[in-house]
Chain A
Amino acid sequence: MLPELGEFALWISLPISIWGVVLAFLGGRWGRGDLVLSAERSVHAVLFLLAVASAGIIAAFLGDRFEYWYVSNYSSRNLETYFKVSGLWAGQRGSLVFWALNVAFFSSIAVWTNRARNRELMLWVSGTLLAVLAFFIVITLFITPPFERLPFTPQDGRGLNPQLQNYWMTIHPPTLYLGFTAFTVPFAFAIGALLSGRLDARWIQITRKWVLTSWFFLTLGIVFGMRWAYEELGWGGYWFWDPVENASLLPWIVATAFLHSVMIQESRGMLKVWNMVLVCLTFIMTIFATFLTRSGLIESVHSFALSLEIAYAFLGFMAVISIICLVLIVWRLPELRSERQFESFLSRESAFLLNNLVLLGAGFAVLWGTMFPLLTEGLTGSKVAVGPPFFNQVNIPIGLILLALMGIGPVIAWRRASARNLKKNFMIPIGVGLLTAGILAALGMRHVYALLTFAIGAFVLWVIVTEFWKGTRARARIEGEGAPTAFFHLIRRNRRRWGGYIVHVGVVVMFMGFAGAAFDREVRQSLEPGESVSIQSAFGHEYTLTYEGISTQRGQNMWQWIALMSVERDGRFIGPMTTERRFYEAPPQPMTEVGIRSTFYEDLYVILATLDDRVGIGNEPDFQRATFQVMVNPLVPWIWYGGLVIAIGTLIGLWPGGPVQSQRPVAGVTKPAARRPGNEPEPQPAGVG
């Protein structure tokens, strides 16, 4: 019954959202509060209806309702319950409903938290949110209907793609979707600010938190995706510069640029147009990402079916949004003038601006590389492709510039810095960077980009640690606190700034992890049980893997051939390791499960490449020859650690600051002695510097 109810709910969510759009704009125009309230209630109503629709889809999966096209194509009776629930986002049709559900979820939060505040903005915000929702509901109803029925009821479904039967895959798409969809709210506030003319700091303040939320989920989603690729695709890598990956990277890049430049608007009242453009652009990029992944228009290894209706729908939507943004921004141009001018070329503002330009440059390069095959085919008729080498060649230097800026920014003063001071402040960190490069080179590292990454990384880490140390020391001295307390209070007092620095530390760690890829080692060998293969890692460890044999096992939805290896490192036995070949029954497809053994700084990664065809079900000792590909990937774990640090830093920046601030609300008044200018470490820049 629930699936039918879900379908019905999906249908009525469309008129309700359209009703809401119309009433929000009319209510705003006529100043009628009752219309506006009705529109805001529509937002919550749409959330409720979409939740019912999603519950309907999940119920259809759980109840094995194979008369639904979507269920029969993405599930089977023997699929684990866990993956049946994730069926909601396993395929195009369900995932668009899930997408709309996420948009509605965030919209509802935005409308609810602002029910008594920012009313001038909210009039237009709820209308914009509902319009976006209506678009996605139209797509799910008319182009990719999740509740479409087959003319007959199949006995069983065709099963879920085995590569999606992995726990990372159940959390990666939802996280990414949360990131994409959360950005609808900043966009709605931007439109609300433009329409209402309330272009002061208000909307930027609200928006910043939302963008940070969205950025948090996007970052996590991208890292989860890398993790999934590393474990499940089984080629020892985590990023392929595939159109789908690039699609998720683009909004992330633009949002990162916005998070930096917004600080300049908040504290200086500058770059208003620029920030407006960045918000609109990020939103357009999230739509572009959906377009790219769903239309199948870009010739890629992805097996997306080419769907022209979706392509046109999304292209049209993007065009409409771009035009609306452009017209509104031009209309409000006089009000968006900067309140101030840049005071000096040599200032942190300039560093931020440079960071913005470089980020957008990187974004453009990624976009260009992704669209290149399509462009050349359209223009010249011959297909030309660029692959990972292109993206690496372009983005590694850009990435290094950005990395360096993370160290330069904090040291340059706001507004105006003098060359003499810069020299003084940069001397030691640059020395640390050079020293790092020197030591690594002396140890035999010859890879230029890797050397640069480590040198710049050390420079940045030194700068950030110094900032923390200086701040803690000053605070400890002034407030008479112990160092740990002072450190803790320092972060609490300006979460954005210090949280931002922690994010930067995470990025540095992650970049070092990327650089580790330059030192991957690999051997391939065909082995009989009892034979072994050795590989030396970049850190000088010698791994010896002895092949013990194959065993067969029956899983819920598959057969497994599990190869057992015993692993020695530097001659000492460190434990067993398995790597598998699976054969799924629905859909009938083989699958490789890699074996990974992680240490703090390197991964041993084993792939069971081929099995003897005669290895059947049951243990047959005669035919156990198998080919293994063994890799040692240095520093890959650092990518995951870096991701964790980034998440922690972002959460610190996001953490709502209620009680902490009220504990010392009148510090300056009660402790006037501590407020002597020039001796006062407390005041800190508004931004994550």
Chain B
Amino acid sequence: MSGLLAGVGLALLVVAWILHPLVTGRSAPMHRDDDELTDVQHRKRIALLALRDVEYDHHAGKLDEADYLAMKRKISAEALSALDEEERALSPGSPESLDVEAEIRALRATLREGAVCQECGNPNAAGSRFCGACGAALARARASG
């Protein structure tokens, strides 16, 4: 008898709980968050990650100088185009990828501060006067934040 009661109680409890939203109209969120990566952000992320890979591979001696420069120029262009696109629809980065976001911010800072080499597209650290890749003189950089 007590078993029957417990069973019925259990069933009622569960049913009440899952029917609750239908009765009260409480709703689950149905749309994507503001902080989710957009397509552009994702492309940018990919480009920046690729840039990191290339840097690391070069540093570790797995990539030739010539290949390294050519690849870097290409990826930097990709990253820049994504960044440009993003500037137009700027939104804060996802908390999921703080690490990458930090890199992105740093890189964007470098890129925005005019440290990108006009000759070869190499993004140089803010404050650089000459391109680290091709040696060309860079436009004077402003103080970075």
B60 and A677 contacting across the interface, CB-CB below 8 Å:
no
A418 cross-chain contacts in B, Cβ below 8 A: 63-64, 67
How distant is the Cα of A108 from the Cα of B123 in the complex, in angstroms?
45
* Residues 636-689 of A at the B interface (beta carbon under 8 Å): 657, 661-662, 664-669, 672-673, 675-686
Q: How far is the CB of A21 from chain B (nearest CB, A)?
A: 13
Q: A38-B22, A418-B67, A668-B107 are in contact. Are A8 and B11 (CB under 8 A)?
A: yes
Interface residues on A, range: 35 or more
A681 cross-chain contacts in B, Cβ below 8 A: 56, 59
Say whether B92 faces chain A, with CB atoms less than 8 Å apart. no
Residue of B nearest to A344 (CB): B67
B18 and A662 contacting across the interface, CB-CB below 8 Å:
no
A411 and B106 contacting across the interface, CB-CB below 8 Å:
no
> Interface digits, A7-33 against B, CB 8 Å rule (1 contact, 0 not)?
011001000100110000001000111
A678 and B125 contacting across the interface, CB-CB below 8 Å:
no
Say whether B132 faces chain A, with CB atoms less than 8 Å apart. yes
A36 and B6 contacting across the interface, CB-CB below 8 Å:
no
Say whether B103 faces chain A, with CB atoms less than 8 Å apart. yes
Say whether B98 faces chain A, with CB atoms less than 8 Å apart. yes
A677 and B133 contacting across the interface, CB-CB below 8 Å:
yes
Say whether B85 faces chain A, with CB atoms less than 8 Å apart. no
Q: A36-B27, A416-B71, A676-B132 are in contact. Are A683 and B51 (CB under 8 A)?
A: yes
Say whether B88 faces chain A, with CB atoms less than 8 Å apart. no
> Interface digits, B8-29 against A, CB 8 Å rule (1 contact, 0 not)?
0011001101111110111111
How distant is the Cα of A533 from the Cα of B32 in the complex, in angstroms?
72
How distant is the Cα of A116 from the Cα of B96 in the complex, in angstroms?
14
B19 and A38 contacting across the interface, CB-CB below 8 Å:
yes
Say whether A60 faces chain B, with CB atoms less than 8 Å apart. no
Say whether A489 faces chain B, with CB atoms less than 8 Å apart. no
> Interface digits, A520-553 against B, CB 8 Å rule (1 contact, 0 not)?
0000000000000000000000000000000000
Q: A414-B53, A665-B99, A680-B59 are in contact. Are A34 and B10 (CB under 8 A)?
A: no
Say whether A599 faces chain B, with CB atoms less than 8 Å apart. no
Residue of B nearest to A265 (CB): B46
A5 cross-chain contacts in B, Cβ below 8 A: 3, 6-7, 10
B28 and A677 contacting across the interface, CB-CB below 8 Å:
no
How distant is the Cα of A421 from the Cα of B60 in the complex, in angstroms?
11
B7 and A666 contacting across the interface, CB-CB below 8 Å:
no
A474 cross-chain contacts in B, Cβ below 8 A: 59
A117 and B53 contacting across the interface, CB-CB below 8 Å:
no
CB < 8 Å: which of A8, A41, A266 contacts B18? A41
* Residues 101-123 of B at the A interface (beta carbon under 8 Å): 101-103, 105-107, 109-110, 122-123
A118 and B32 contacting across the interface, CB-CB below 8 Å:
yes
Q: How far is the CB of A499 from chain B (nearest CB, A)?
A: 15
How distant is the Cα of A493 from the Cα of B6 in the complex, in angstroms?
52
Residue of B nearest to A198 (CB): B32
B67 cross-chain contacts in A, Cβ below 8 A: 413, 416, 418
How distant is the Cα of A493 from the Cα of B99 in the complex, in angstroms?
9
B46 and A683 contacting across the interface, CB-CB below 8 Å:
no
B14 and A12 contacting across the interface, CB-CB below 8 Å:
yes
Say whether A572 faces chain B, with CB atoms less than 8 Å apart. no
Say whether A614 faces chain B, with CB atoms less than 8 Å apart. no
CB < 8 Å: which of A12, A420, A471, A669 contacts B106? A669
- From B33, B98, B123, name the one whose CB has the most chain A CB atoms within 10 angstroms: B98
> Interface digits, B61-93 against A, CB 8 Å rule (1 contact, 0 not)?
111100100011000000000000000000000
Say whether A45 faces chain B, with CB atoms less than 8 Å apart. yes
Say whether A49 faces chain B, with CB atoms less than 8 Å apart. yes
- From A20, A662, A669, A680, name the one whose CB has the most chain B CB atoms within 10 angstroms: A669
Q: How far is the CB of A493 from chain B (nearest CB, A)?
A: 8
How distant is the Cα of A376 from the Cα of B37 in the complex, in angstroms?
52
Interface residues on B, range: 35 or more
Residue of B nearest to A474 (CB): B59
- From A116, A416, A474, name the one whose CB has the most chain B CB atoms within 10 angstroms: A416
A33 and B28 contacting across the interface, CB-CB below 8 Å:
yes
* Residues 18-52 of B at the A interface (beta carbon under 8 Å): 18-22, 24-33, 36-37, 39, 42-43, 45-46, 49-52
A470 cross-chain contacts in B, Cβ below 8 A: 60
B2 cross-chain contacts in A, Cβ below 8 A: 1
A268 cross-chain contacts in B, Cβ below 8 A: 46, 50
A34 and B21 contacting across the interface, CB-CB below 8 Å:
yes
Residue of A nearest to B69 (CB): A678
Say whether A481 faces chain B, with CB atoms less than 8 Å apart. no
B29 cross-chain contacts in A, Cβ below 8 A: 33, 115-116, 119
Say whether A134 faces chain B, with CB atoms less than 8 Å apart. no
How distant is the Cα of A33 from the Cα of B28 in the complex, in angstroms?
5
How distant is the Cα of A287 from the Cα of B99 in the complex, in angstroms?
37
Residue of A nearest to B25 (CB): A34
Q: A34-B27, A414-B54 are in contact. Are A41 and B21 (CB under 8 A)?
A: yes
A122 cross-chain contacts in B, Cβ below 8 A: 28
How distant is the Cα of A420 from the Cα of B101 in the complex, in angstroms?
35
> Interface digits, A382-417 against B, CB 8 Å rule (1 contact, 0 not)?
000000000000000000000000000001111111
Say whether A48 faces chain B, with CB atoms less than 8 Å apart. yes
B54 and A675 contacting across the interface, CB-CB below 8 Å:
no
Residue of A nearest to B2 (CB): A1
A668 cross-chain contacts in B, Cβ below 8 A: 102-103, 105-107, 109
A412 and B62 contacting across the interface, CB-CB below 8 Å:
yes
A685 and B49 contacting across the interface, CB-CB below 8 Å:
yes
Q: A118-B36, A683-B53 are in contact. Are A40 and B122 (CB under 8 A)?
A: no
How distant is the Cα of A37 from the Cα of B145 in the complex, in angstroms?
45
Q: A680-B59, A683-B55 are in contact. Are A16 and B18 (CB under 8 A)?
A: yes
Interface residue stretch chosen among A165-173, A199-207, A240-248, A586-594 = A199-207
Residue of A nearest to B126 (CB): A672
Q: A425-B61, A668-B102, A685-B49 are in contact. Are A120 and B3 (CB under 8 A)?
A: no
B22 and A35 contacting across the interface, CB-CB below 8 Å:
yes
Say whether A437 faces chain B, with CB atoms less than 8 Å apart. no
B64 cross-chain contacts in A, Cβ below 8 A: 418, 420-421
A200 and B61 contacting across the interface, CB-CB below 8 Å:
no
A267 and B53 contacting across the interface, CB-CB below 8 Å:
yes
Q: How far is the CB of A238 from chain B (nearest CB, A)?
A: 38
Q: How far is the CB of B140 from chain A (nearest CB, A)?
A: 16
Q: A35-B22, A421-B64 are in contact. Are A123 and B30 (CB under 8 A)?
A: yes
B28 and A1 contacting across the interface, CB-CB below 8 Å:
no
Q: How far is the CB of B109 from chain A (nearest CB, A)?
A: 6
Q: How far is the CB of A539 from chain B (nearest CB, A)?
A: 37
A339 cross-chain contacts in B, Cβ below 8 A: 43, 46
Q: What are the 8 closest A-B residue pairs judged by CB atoms, nearest first?
A: A668-B106, A33-B27, A683-B52, A37-B28, A413-B57, A37-B21, A685-B53, A413-B62
27 example contacts (A-B, Cβ-Cβ < 8 A) are as follows: A1-B2, A4-B3, A8-B10, A12-B10, A31-B30, A34-B26, A37-B26, A38-B21, A41-B21, A45-B14, A52-B10, A116-B33, A200-B37, A201-B37, A201-B45, A269-B46, A416-B71, A417-B63, A418-B67, A421-B61, A661-B98, A661-B99, A662-B98, A668-B107, A676-B125, A683-B53, A686-B53
